[in-house]
Amino acid sequence: MKILTRIIPSLLAILVATAASAAEGQWIQLFNGKNLDGWTPKIRGCDLGDNFNQTFRVEDGLLKVVYENYGPFNERFGHLFYETPFSHYRLRVEYRFVGEQVSGGPGWAFRNSGIMIHGQAPDTMTKDQDFPASIEVQLLGGPGTGERQTANLCTPGTHVVMNGKLHTQHCTNSKSKTYHGDQWVTVELEVRGNRIIKHLIDGETILEYTQPQLDESDASARRLLAQGADKMLSGGTISLQSESHPVHFRKVELLKLEE
């Protein structure tokens, strides 16, 4: 009887967890580990779909952002867009920084990349637009000494609400630890439309905010609003950045959540 008393609660817990997982569905591998199927590059100064100098490529099962064919960087900021927009989901990304920053890359872009969410469609970007109007989960690597948080928030063409107030600061640090060297880092996001967005590392929420929205003072955002876009952002594209420092991604997976 005592054994059953111990076993039954454990079985119930397993059944509940399994049912919850089934209700939410399966993780979708946005990056298939083989090629860039489902992804489209948009690099500043280039047409949509032009993978300038093979900036984005797949090698050894990794999605790599590289600059070996570049001369000076010349502000060719790029983004690799996934084909499907999403609204309510969990997103898990594993990344690492490697090598040296390309010549001409800005100082702030050293060991710097990002995951853009709730972003505009790439075909609405102008040819010379540097960043899509979006919410950026900024990925930063440590320089070897000192502190440098990752999974921060940046807001190109957007604002959010924090602590009940409109938050207009462009970049806001998370409370993550610093990751030096070329170690792999896993960042997870919980995105629930316009209601709440959380940044997590190792299961701990390190930053959260609500009500992502277009910034009416930003030229790209104003153009989208003039074309009929909603000011409040409830979903949008997901993209990965190229900002002048080589970075690898080995996993980009998504779990849809109920709205």
CATH code assigned at 64: 2.60.120.560
The end-to-end CA distance of the chain, in Å, is: 43
The answer as to whether 179 is a domain residue is: yes
CA angle 10–23–190, rounded 5-degree value:
95
pLDDT 10s digits, 177-225: 999 999 999 999 999 999 999 999 999 999 999 999 999 999 999 999 9
The answer to whether the beta carbons of residues 245 and 101 sit under 8 Å apart is yes
pLDDT 10s digits, 153-170: 999 999 999 999 999 999
Ranking 10-19, 97-106, 189-198, 245-254 by mean pLDDT, the lowest is 10-19
The answer as to whether 175 is a domain residue is: yes
What is the chain's mean pLDDT, rounded? 93
Q: Is the pTM of this model over 0.75?
A: yes
Q: Domain containing 133: what range?
A: 27-256
The answer as to whether 13 is a domain residue is: no
Please tell me the predicted confidence (pLDDT) of residue 24.
57
pLDDT 10s digits, 137-150: 999 999 999 999 99
The answer to whether the beta carbons of residues 213 and 26 sit under 8 Å apart is no
The answer as to whether 54 is a domain residue is: yes
Shortest CA distance to 216 belongs to which of 206, 204, 230? 230
135: Cα separation from own chain's centroid: 8
Shortest CA distance to 119 belongs to which of 181, 40, 53, 183? 40
What phi and psi values does residue 154 have, to the nearest 5 degrees?
A: -130, 155
Q: How many domains does the chain have?
A: 1
The answer as to whether 32 is a domain residue is: yes
The answer as to whether 241 is a domain residue is: yes
Q: Which residue's entry shows tokens 């999403």?
A: 86
pLDDT 10s digits, 10-35: 444 433 343 444 345 899 999 999 99
Please tell me the predicted confidence (pLDDT) of residue 25.
81
The answer as to whether 18 is a domain residue is: no
pLDDT 10s digits, 78-94: 999 999 999 999 999 99
Average pLDDT of the residues in 231-238: 98
Average pLDDT of the residues in 49-56: 98
The answer as to whether 11 is a domain residue is: no
